[in-house]
Structures are given as C-alpha cells and as structure tokens.
Amino acid sequence: MTTPLVEDSTGGLKTGDTLLEVDNLIMRYKTKQGYVSAVEDVSFVLHKGEALGLVGESGCGKTSVALSLLRLQADNGEILGGEIRLGGKDLVPISEDEMRRHRWNDVSMVFQGAMNSWNPVYRVGDQIKEALDLHWPERLNRAETRQRIGDLFALVGLDSDAQDRYPHEFSGGMRQRAVIAMALSCNPQVIIADEPTTALDVIVQDQILKELKKIQADLNMSIIYISHDIAVIAEVTDRTGVMYAGKMVEFGDTGDIFSAPRHPYAWLLLSSTPSIVGPRRKLAPLEGEPPNLLDPPSGCRFNPRCPFATDQCRVEEPPLRDIGDDHQVACWNYEQVPVGITSGSVV
Amino acid sequence: MLKFIGVRLIQMSLLFLVFLSLLFFLLQAQPGDFSTQFLDPRIPPENRDLIAARFGLDAPLWKQYLTYMGNVLQGDFGVSFQRYPRTVVSVITERLPRTFFLFTFATLLSYYLGFVLGKVLAWRRGGSQEMSITLGGVLLYTVFYPWFALVMIWFFAAYLDLVPVNQFLTPLRWRDAPFSANSVFTSIIWSTLLLSIGLGLALWASRKPDNETQRRLVKWGGVGLTVAVFLAFWMPHEQRTYATDIAHHALLPIFTLALVAFAGVMLITRGSMLETLKEDYILTARAKGLAPKTIRDRHAARNALLPVTTSFVLGLAFIIGGGLITETVFSWPGMGELLLASVLTQDIPVAIGALAMVGALALIAHIIVDVMYVFLDPRIRYQ
Ligand SMILES: Nc1ncnc2c1ncn2[C@@H]1O[C@H](COP(=O)(O)OP(=O)(O)O)[C@@H](O)[C@H]1O
Ligand code: SF4
Ligand SMILES: [Mg+2]
C-alpha cells in the first residue's frame, strides 16, 4: 500500500473556502493576583490554502491564541467566551475526549522552541508513529509506517534512515525539520507554527522557512505562522494579524500591512525594525514595553505608548473596524498615521 | 559497553581492596582484643600466648595484614572466633541468602510502589488526597525506624496476630525437616528470580506486535504462562510447606522495610515527575492527542525514572543500614544481625568478612545501575 501524502481531509473544501473561524475568543489565566487577560476578544478567519501570520512583541498573547485553538492552554488558563469553528464545528464546548481526536489530526502544531519538542528517550520515528497509530484512519503495519515517515522526511529534506535516530543525535535544524514532518504526519487541515525558527541560526532559519513555504504551496495547506519577527511574517504569509496586549489591533493583506500599516502600533513596530525590503528608512522608535496583562490600561491598551493618543483613547476602547480592502484596524485615529513606513518620524 | 564493564569491574576490585584494608586496620583499632573476649581469664599467660601464636596474632600488625590479604585473595577469610572452628566463609554463605532475600523483596516492593504512587501524586496535583499521601510519605521518611519496626511488630504480630512475632521460621516445624533452611531459601530466590525474568520478558515482548489485541495477547499470555510455570514448580514441590513457612515469617520484615524505603522513593519520583511535566515534549504529547494516561506513563514517568534510578545507588546505604536494624528488631538471622553480633563480641574475622560483603554488594549494585542507565537513557553511551 502506498500512503497518499496529500489527502484531502477538509471535506472537499476548495482553496479560499473558510476553514477556521475564530469569533470573539477570550482566554484568561487565573493567578493569585487576578486574571491575566492574554486573549481578549480575538476574531479572525483562516481560509483553505492560506498562510496567516500573527505578529506582535513578546508577551502579546500570540502563543496563548495558538494554544487556545487546541485547547492546550496552561492549567490556569480558561476559555471564557467565543467560538473556534473548524469546518463549521465549534471546538469550545466539546468534551476533552472529543477534542483529543481533533488534535494533530485536524490541527497540529510546531511549537515555540521545537528543539525540545522531542522526548529524549524515544527514537524520532517512534514518536511520529505514535501520532499515526492514534489518528491514521487504518492501521499501518511496520513497513507502511516506515514508508510514510520516510516520505515525510523526504519532504522536509531528511534521510529516511534518520527516523531510527534519537533526538540528541540530530542538529537543531534537523530536529526542527523532523518536527515539521511530525506536524504533517496526519494530514492536518491546519498547522500552527509558533516561532518555528526562532531558536535556529539565520541561515538554517531561512532554509527551513523557504521549505515550509514550498510545502505549504505544494500541499495547499493552511498555516498559521506566529512570530515576533516581522521579517519572517512578511516573507511567508498571505494575510497578517497584528496583536497587541491580547487584542487583535490590525488585520489584513500582508502586502498592505507591510507597505502601509494603519494602526499606530503596527506602524511603529515596522518603522523601528531595520528594513527588510526596499530602501533604508528613517527609524521611528517604539518606546516602552507591552503592559502587564493583569491590569491592562483602560480604553485603548496601546495608549500609554501611542504618539497619537487622545483623551478618547484613554477611556474608550476602539473596536476592530473595516476600513475597506478586507483591512481592519482597531484605532480611533488611524487616519493620522502616515501612509507608508519610509516617511519621517512624527515623534 | 563490554569494555566499560571490564574497566568498571577492575576499578571496583581495586576499590574493594582499599575498603578491605581500611576495615582491617579500623577493626583492629577497636579497644580490647580477642583474648579478653574469648579466653577464660584463668588461663595462664604462657598458654594465652601459645593460643595467640596459633592464630598468628603474635605477629606484628603489618605481617598479620599481609597474611590476611594474601589469604583473602585465595578466598579464605579466616575462622570465626565465636563459632570456632567454622570458617568465616561458611558462616557468611549461611547468612547471605537470608539477607539477600529480605533485601531484594523489600527493595523491589518499595521501588515499585514508590514509583507508581509518586507518579500518580505528581499527575494529580492539588487536592486533599495528594496532600495527605505526601504528608504520610514525609512522616514515614523521617520516622525513627527502630521504633517504627517495634510498633509494626506490636500491631501486626502481637495485636492482630496475623504474622509470627519474630524468627525466620518456626523451629518446631523444622525439627525433622529433610533439608536445610538454606536450600529452601535458595529455591525461593532462584524461582522468584526466574519468575521476574519471565515477567520482564513478557512485558518486553508485548511491545513488539503491531496492533493492540496482539500486544495484549502476548502480554497476558506471557504473564499467565510465567505464573503458571512458577506455580507448577512450587505446588508439588517437597519444600513447599517449608517455603510458605519462611514466606510467612518474612512478610512483616519485608513490609516494614519496604514501607519506610518506599516513602523516600515516592517523594523523589513525585519531585522528578513534577519537573518532567514542565518539559516541552509533554506539551507535544498533549497536542498529538494522546490519552492522559499515555502521556503520564510513556512520556513523563519514563523520564522521571532516571533520577529515581540514581537515587537507588545513593539510597543503597540506607537500605543496607535499614536491613541491619530490621534484622536485629525482627531477630532475622542474616548478615545485619551477624555483623552487629560479631562487632559486639569482637569476632573480628567475621566482622571484617560481613562488612566486606556489604561493601561488595553495594559495589555490584553500582555497576548494575550503570549498565541499566544505558538502557534507560539513550543519551548515555560509555566509551
Ligand atoms: N500560565 C500562565 N499564567 C499566567 N500568565 C500567563 C501564563 N502563560 C502566559 N501568561 C501571560 O500571558 C501573556 C501572553 O503570553 P504569550 O501568549 O506567551 O505571549 P506571546 O506568545 O505573544 O509572547 C503574557 O503576559 C504572559 O506573561
Ligand atoms: S486608539 Fe488611540 S491610543 Fe489606541 S492606537 Fe489609536 S490613537 Fe493610539
Ligand atoms: Mg510566544
């Protein structure tokens, strides 16, 4: 038996159809000091075959969003509201046992620090086999399993024989490739890649991103890329969501957002980063740090750091509004933000 | 690997010789000597000297030492003063299986129970159940052991009358026994050793087949077969009633020793599990949709096992010391009791022999754990 690498497990969805809808998701961590509001009213849609990016400084709730989608948030985290609809089915209210059948089979994940995603005492191949044994529709025998893992390894640029090795025998890059192979193993509908290359050196990082992008295109997969590194997001995604302090503050076509960010935070984030595309530009500083989410600022959560803040910003929270071209922004004064990031600094 | 074991064995042998030399001089340095303890004070001094000369005790210490080490290398540990003319080796070969029996069962029991309970505790963090079991563990771990052993005897033997009060067999029943207690001990040790090897093999083989039904079949079939062979060996065995008599006597000391040792294992396992549960690969395992029990046993507990194995070596001293107290309190005539009696009576050849044996066992356990590590942790490879 040969196992098909790409199997349409998406119920006949065509490219561009809605695959995953997140609606008004709220997830908070309960601590002794109170609730940490890590995911506050976040909504977005992921289409079949699309690469979606979530970008924002560290601590803005990107990982929390990702984990909530699999309902794997830490023990003290609780989903307090919203819906996560996968192929129309809401995953929030279902039982833990039912949820387990969706994990990896429908939504798999490449974790932040995927280097340590491997259990040191088992062979890499056996750890992938574990997922196949659990989710693959029919039972694969030993030869079929080896074949399948070998195919996956070929896809990410590893030798088939590498499946017999232990994680510590791999380099960081190889471990990361193998993690990607494992994420692909059960033909998931969605792959979430949380800082998939952050721990690697730049050259390996670049290689792996390119390969991941190619695999995504070849298999027509839907991926959510998460990174604090805007260069990564700019390179591999079709659409981008910018997160700040647990909120989605801007969402739209990646090209639009990177050429003309409308939210002050996105604008400052891009301007303060050395150029990755185009000519040198003047750097505008992004000062301060994201707020403590135990007690976020009232009104717009960005107001203490925002050069455009007005009195309204300090009391009233701006909703995420459509501004045309499938572009959404949560800011009262987005029109004042200079168009284009190469223009001079206002501060 | 073989080379590693070879080198290790040589190291251990050298260490053993150093240990033995230290024992020799330390025990000589005890106040008093053989003559005050074993010779009638009315014996005239010249006869006294004659007797000392017969045992070579008149020679200078360094000469005695060389003679002794020379003899040891030929497997001769001398004769017992107390049990003259029995040799030290014959006394020890009589006592050793009894201690080995107690020690092995108590250790296996305590590690098994401690590990299983420790991992469950860590998994179900929080709640009053975890609190009370942990508290109980800490109490057992810190309790004054001889006192605890006496309480156990009082409760189970005297008050409930479930088990015999002491001794390792019922002397009346053994009066006309056609064989020695030691041959029965040896049968018990060998048969249970084979039993555990059989069980281990069954569990190992049950991981091989591809599907769950076959795995279960191999597992339970193998376990059933091994147990059946074990029973088939013992049921018609002529020593059976004697073996059960010994087992009956062994119950309380094994249980008591295991209970105290188990608490330590449980606490270490719990701590090590809690660390393991924070690892990234646990999150990966959850994301894969594995069942909680699989994550706990296959991923977390398997890694938590490594520090517990290390603690085994460190805990050896405790188990041996605990064994000494256990044997004394339960009048179990094994090595511990022999050691204590020989030191108290200045039976120096036996004391050195017994301590040397304890040391040798500890060194061997060290090597076994080193080898086990290779199987437990693929990252460890000895060159
Ligand atoms: N288990 C937890 N308990 C309490 N707070 C948490 C927990 N995990 C994360 N947080 C907090 O939630 C916020 C979002 O964290 P995270 O989702 O990891 O952000 P990002 O991935 O964008 O760096 C941070 O302020 C972080 O300190
Ligand atoms: S709403 Fe106000 S504070 Fe918030 S980003 Fe817009 S201008 Fe700045
Ligand atoms: Mg993160």
- Integer Cα distance of B304 and B297 in angstroms: 10
Mark which of B301, B327, B356 sits at the end of a domain.
B301
CA A107 to chain centre: 12
In a domain, B272, yes or no: yes
In a domain, A55, yes or no: no
Q: Which domain covers residue B43, as residue numbers? A: 2-73
In a domain, A19, yes or no: no
User: What's the structural domain count of chain A?
Assistant: 1
- Integer Cα distance of A312 and A310 in angstroms: 5
| pLDDT at A344 (0 to 100) | 42
In a domain, A323, yes or no: yes
Whether A60 is in the pocket of ligand 1, judged by its Cβ within 6 Å, is: yes
Instruction: Say if residue B159 is in the same domain as residue B278.
Output: yes
Helices (H) and strands (E) in chain A, counts: 10, 12
Residue B67 has pLDDT above 50, yes or no: yes
Walk across the sheet containing A77-86 and list its strands: A34-47, A18-31, A77-86, A89-90
Coil, helix or strand at residue B321? helix
* pLDDT grade for A288, boundaries at 50, 70 and 90: confident
- Among A244, A310, A328, the mutation site with the greatest number of ligand 2 atoms within 8 A of its Cβ is A310
Mark which of B301, B331, B349 sits at the end of a domain.
B301
Residue A116 has pLDDT above 80, yes or no: yes
Whether A170 is in the pocket of ligand 1, judged by its Cβ within 6 Å, is: no
Mark which of B266, B301, B336 sits at the end of a domain.
B301
Pick the closest to residue A23 from A44, A40, A39, A37 (CA basis). A44
Instruction: Say if residue B16 is in the same domain as residue B109.
Output: no
| pLDDT at A282 (0 to 100) | 53
> Is the CB of B288 less than 8 angstroms away from the CB of A103?
yes
Instruction: Say if residue B168 is in the same domain as residue B249.
Output: yes
In a domain, B310, yes or no: no
* pLDDT grade for A346, boundaries at 50, 70 and 90: very low
Over residues A210-218, the mean pLDDT reads 90
| pLDDT at B379 (0 to 100) | 85
Q: Which domain covers residue A340, as residue numbers? A: 267-347
**What's the CA-to-centroid distance between A302 and ligand 2, angstroms?**
6
Q: Which of A243-247, A305-309, B29-33, B246-250 has the lowest mean pLDDT?
A: B29-33
Instruction: Say if residue B11 is in the same domain as residue B158.
Output: no
- Across the interface, of B285, B288, B303, the residue whose CB is closest to A121 is B303
What are all long-range contacts of B310-315, with beta carbons under 8 Å and residues at least 24 apart? Answer: B310/B369, B311/B264, B311/B265, B311/B268, B312/B111, B312/B365, B312/B369, B313/B365, B313/B366, B313/B369, B315/B261, B315/B264, B315/B265
In a domain, B322, yes or no: no
* pLDDT grade for A10, boundaries at 50, 70 and 90: low
Q: Which pLDDT tens digit goes with each residue over B182-241?
A: 888 888 888 888 998 999 898 888 877 767 788 888 889 999 999 999 998 888 888 888
In a domain, A27, yes or no: no
How many Cβ contacts (< 8 angstroms) between chains A and B? 67
> Could you report the predicted ipTM of this complex, rounded to two decimals?
0.90
Q: Cα angle at B55 between B54 and B56, to 5 degrees?
A: 90
In a domain, B101, yes or no: yes
Residue B35 has pLDDT above 70, yes or no: no
- Integer Cα distance of A227 and A206 in angstroms: 14
Over residues A194-202, the mean pLDDT reads 85
Q: Which pLDDT tens digit goes with each residue over B282-306?
A: 999 999 999 999 999 999 999 999 8
Q: Which phi and psi (to 5°) does residue A83 adopt?
A: -130, 145
Provide the phi-psi class of A193: left if phi over 0, else alpha when psi is between -120 and 50, else beta.
beta
Residues A330, A333, A339, A340, Cα dihedral to 10°: -50
CA A17 to chain centre: 19
> Is the CB of B303 less than 8 angstroms away from the CB of A119?
yes
* pLDDT grade for A184, boundaries at 50, 70 and 90: very high
Coil, helix or strand at residue A212? helix
Tokens of B79: 């004769």
Whose Cα sits closest to atom 4 in ligand 1?
A29
Best of B123, B282, B288, B308 to substitute, by most chain A Cβ atoms within 10 angstroms, is B288
Residue A343 has pLDDT above 50, yes or no: no
Over residues B52-58, the mean pLDDT reads 75
**What's the CA-to-centroid distance between A74 and ligand 3, angstroms?**
13
B69 or B41: which leads in pLDDT:
B69
Whose Cα sits closest to atom 25 in ligand 1?
A59
Whose Cα sits closest to atom 16 in ligand 1?
A61
- Among A267, A298, A308, A335, the mutation site with the greatest number of ligand 2 atoms within 8 A of its Cβ is A308
User: What's the structural domain count of chain B?
Assistant: 2
Instruction: Say if residue B155 is in the same domain as residue B277.
Output: yes
> Is the CB of B290 less than 8 angstroms away from the CB of A113?
no
**What's the CA-to-centroid distance between A224 and ligand 2, angstroms?**
27
Over residues B5-17, the mean pLDDT reads 89
| pLDDT at A280 (0 to 100) | 47
